[in-house]
Amino acid sequence: MTATVTTAPVRPRLPAALTFWPLAAAVVLVPLGVLFAGGGSWPASLSVDLSGPLGSASDWIIDHRDSHPLFLYFFGHISNAVVLSVRAVYLLLLAVGWAGVTAAAGLIAWRVAGVRVALGATAAFAVCGLLGMWVPTMQTLALMVVAVAASVALGGLLGLAAGLSDRTYRALRPVLDTMQVLPAFAYLLPVVLVFGIGVPAAVLATVVYAAPPMARLTALGLRAADPGVLEAAASLGATGRQRLLTARLPLARKELLLGVNQSIMMALSMAVIASVIGAGGLGDRVYQALASVDVGAALAAGIPIVLLAVVLDRTATGARSGGGGRAAARRGWTGAAAVLVLVALAGRFADRLTWPESWHVDIAEPVNRAVDWMTAHLYSGVPVIGGTADWAAGFTGWVLDPVRDGLQALPWWAVLLLVGALALLVGTWRTALTAVAAMGAIGVLGVWDASLDTLSQVLAAVAVTLVLGFGIAVAAARSARCERCLRPVLDVFQTMPQFVYLIPVVALFGVGRAPAVAAAVVYALPAVVRITTQGLRGVDPVALEAARSLGATGWQQLRQVQLPLARPALLLAVNQAVVLVLAVVIIGGLVGGGALGYDVVFGLAQGDLATGLVAGAAIVCLGLMLDRVTQPVRKEA
Amino acid sequence: MRTARTTVCAAAALGLVALTGCGAADMTKQASPYAAAQGTKTVTLSLQSWVGAQANVAVAKYLLEHELGYRVDTVQVDEVPAWDALSQGRVDAILEDWGHPEQEKRYVTDKKTIARGGNLGVTGHIGWFVPTYFAEAHPDVTDWKNLDKYAGRLRTAESGGKGQLLDGSPSYVTNDKALVENLDLDYKVVFAGSEAAQITQIKQFAKEKKPFLTYWYKPQWLFEKVPMTEVKLPPYKEGCDADPKKVACAYPHTPLQKYLNADFAEKGGKAAAFLKNFRWTTEAQNDVALMIAEQKLSPEAAAEKWVRANESTWRAWLPS
Distance between terminal CA atoms of chain A?
33
The model's confidence at residue A464, banded by pLDDT at 50, 70 and 90, is very high
Contact A583, A523 (CB under 8 A): yes
Residue of B nearest to A81 (CA): B13
The pairing of beta strand B187-191 with beta strand B163-167? parallel
Residue of B nearest to A364 (CA): B296
**Nearest one of A591, A577, A628, A622 to A456, comparing CA atoms:** A622
The model's confidence at residue A400, banded by pLDDT at 50, 70 and 90, is confident
Q: Out of A339-353, A403-417, A594-608, B50-64, give the one with best mean pLDDT.
A: B50-64
* Over residues A507-524, mean pLDDT: 88
* pLDDT score recorded for residue A9: 43
* pLDDT score recorded for residue B40: 65
**What does the pLDDT look like over B236-288, one tens digit per residue?**
888 888 888 888 888 888 899 999 999 889 888 889 999 999 998 988 998 89
Mutate to test the interface with B, among A112, A292, A334, A587 (most CBs of B within 10 A): A292
The model's confidence at residue B93, banded by pLDDT at 50, 70 and 90, is very high
Rounded distance, CA A96 to CA A340, Å?
9
> Any idea of the CA torsion for A245, A246, A252, A254, to the nearest 10 degrees?
110
Helices B299-309 and B51-66, interaxial angle, to 10°? 70
* Over residues A545-570, mean pLDDT: 81
State whether residue B36 sits within 8 Å of chain A by CB: no
Residue of A nearest to B156 (CA): A393
> Residue A149 and residue B6: Cβ atoms within 8 Å?
yes
* Over residues B109-138, mean pLDDT: 91
Q: Of B76, B91, B204, which has the smallest distance from its Cβ to A510's Cβ?
A: B204
Contact A632, A11 (CB under 8 A): yes
Phi first, then psi, for residue B167 (nearest 5°) are -110, 165
Number of Cβ pairs closer than 8 Å across A and B? 242
- How far is B51 from chain A, CA to nearest CA, in Å? 6
* pLDDT score recorded for residue A468: 93
Q: pTM score > 0.90 for this model?
A: no
Task: Respond yes or no on whether the N-terminal peptide bond of residue B219 is cis (omega within 30° of 0).
Answer: yes
State whether residue B261 sits within 8 Å of chain A by CB: no
Phi first, then psi, for residue B249 (nearest 5°) are -140, 170
Q: With 80 as the cut, is the pLDDT of residue A36 above it?
A: no
Q: What percentage of chain B has pLDDT greater than the value 70? A: 88
Least confident residue range of A54-58, A343-347, A366-370: A343-347
CA atoms within 13 A on the CB side of A206: 37
A149-178 residues touching B, CB cutoff 8 A = 149
Domain range annotation of chain A: 85-366, 388-630
DSSP assignments along A10-78, one per residue = PPPPPPHHHHHHHHHHHHHHHHHHHHHH---S--GGG----HHHHHHHHHHHHHHTTT-HIIIIIIHHH
The model's confidence at residue A429, banded by pLDDT at 50, 70 and 90, is confident
Chain B residues within 8 A of A590 when measuring between CB atoms: 193-194, 196-197
With H, G, I as helix, E, B as strand and everything else as coil, classify residue A522. Answer: helix
State whether residue A354 sits within 8 Å of chain B by CB: no
**Nearest one of B158, B145, B150, B119 to B282, comparing CA atoms:** B119
The pairing of beta strand B42-47 with beta strand B71-76? parallel
Higher pLDDT, residue B320 or A584: A584
* Over residues A45-50, mean pLDDT: 77
Higher pLDDT, residue A323 or B53: B53
- CA distances to A417, A419, A443, A635 from A436, rounded to whole Å, are 8, 6, 11, 18
Q: With 90 as the cut, is the pLDDT of residue A3 above it?
A: no
- Provide the sign of the torsion angle of the four alpha carbons B47, B52, B54, B60, taken in this order: negative
- How far is B319 from chain A, CA to nearest CA, in Å? 30
State whether residue B78 sits within 8 Å of chain A by CB: yes
* pLDDT score recorded for residue A381: 67
Chain B residues within 8 A of A589 when measuring between CB atoms: 193
* Over residues A559-567, mean pLDDT: 80
The model's confidence at residue A17, banded by pLDDT at 50, 70 and 90, is very low
* Over residues A597-607, mean pLDDT: 87
**Nearest one of A168, A172, A223, A184 to A6, comparing CA atoms:** A223
State whether residue A277 sits within 8 Å of chain B by CB: yes
Higher pLDDT, residue A165 or B132: B132
**What does the pLDDT look like over A105-116, one tens digit per residue?**
888 888 888 888
* Over residues A302-310, mean pLDDT: 88
* pLDDT score recorded for residue A5: 41
At the topology level, CATH places domain A388-630 in: MetI-like fold (1.10.3720)
Higher pLDDT, residue A357 or A627: A627
* pLDDT score recorded for residue A456: 92
Contact A496, A300 (CB under 8 A): no
> Residue A75 and residue B27: Cβ atoms within 8 Å?
yes
* pLDDT score recorded for residue B69: 87
* pLDDT score recorded for residue A391: 83
* Long-range contacts (CB closer than 8 Å, 24 or more residues apart) made by A22-29: A22/A420, A22/A421, A22/A424, A22/A425, A23/A421, A23/A422, A23/A425, A25/A421, A26/A414, A26/A417, A26/A418, A26/A420, A26/A421, A29/A417
Contact A594, A453 (CB under 8 A): yes
* Complex confidence, ipTM: 0.83
* pLDDT score recorded for residue A461: 93
- How far is A595 from chain B, CA to nearest CA, in Å? 10
Residue of A nearest to B205 (CA): A510
**What does the pLDDT look like over A182-193, one tens digit per residue?**
777 777 888 888
Beta strands, E only, B41-140? 42-47, 71-76, 93-97, 114-131
- CA distances to A392, B94, B191 from A400, rounded to whole Å, are 10, 41, 17
A85-144 residues touching B, CB cutoff 8 A = 85-90, 92, 104, 107-108, 139, 142
What domains are there in chain B, each with its CATH number? 40-123+255-315 (3.40.190.10), 124-253 (3.40.190.100)
Mean pLDDT of chain B: 85
Rounded distance, CA A582 to CA B175, Å?
30
- The partner residues of B75 in beta bridges, in order of sequence, read B46
Q: Give the distance, in angstroms, between the CA of residue A358 and the centroid of all CA atoms in the same chain.
A: 37
Contact A100, A349 (CB under 8 A): no
Q: With 70 as the cut, is the pLDDT of residue A34 above it?
A: no
Chain B residues within 8 A of A195 when measuring between CB atoms: 27
DSSP assignments along A357-389, one per residue = GGG----HHHHHHHHHHHHHHHSS--TTT--HH
Q: With 80 as the cut, is the pLDDT of residue A21 above it?
A: no
State whether residue A146 sits within 8 Å of chain B by CB: yes
* Over residues A16-28, mean pLDDT: 61
State whether residue A389 sits within 8 Å of chain B by CB: yes
**What does the pLDDT look like over B170-211, one tens digit per residue?**
888 888 889 999 999 999 999 988 888 898 889 888 988 889
> Residue A86 and residue B198: Cβ atoms within 8 Å?
no
Q: Do domains A85-366 and A388-630 have the same CATH topology?
A: yes
**Which of 1.10.3720.10, 3.40.50.450, 3.20.20.70, 1.10.1040.10 would CATH assign to domain A85-366?**
1.10.3720.10
The pairing of beta strand B163-167 with beta strand B213-218? parallel
> Residue B197 and residue A503: Cβ atoms within 8 Å?
yes
A252-268 burial, b if ≥16 CB within 10 A, otherwise e? Answer: beebbbbbbbbbbbbbb
Element (DSSP H or E) covering residue B102: helix B101-103
**What does the pLDDT look like over A218-266, one tens digit per residue?**
888 888 777 777 778 778 877 777 777 777 777 778 788 888 888 888 8
Higher pLDDT, residue A345 or A623: A623
> Residue B33 and residue A292: Cβ atoms within 8 Å?
no
* pLDDT score recorded for residue A8: 41
- How far is B89 from chain A, CA to nearest CA, in Å? 9
B144-163 residues touching A, CB cutoff 8 A = 156-158, 160
State whether residue A587 sits within 8 Å of chain B by CB: no
> Residue B76 and residue A284: Cβ atoms within 8 Å?
yes
> Residue B27 and residue A506: Cβ atoms within 8 Å?
no
Mean pLDDT of chain A: 81
> Residue A364 and residue B76: Cβ atoms within 8 Å?
no
State whether residue A318 sits within 8 Å of chain B by CB: no
Chain A residues within 8 A of B170 when measuring between CB atoms: 598, 601-602, 605-606
Least confident residue range of A352-366, A606-620, B87-101, B299-313: A352-366
State whether residue A294 sits within 8 Å of chain B by CB: yes
State whether residue A569 sits within 8 Å of chain B by CB: no
Chain B residues within 8 A of A297 when measuring between CB atoms: 296
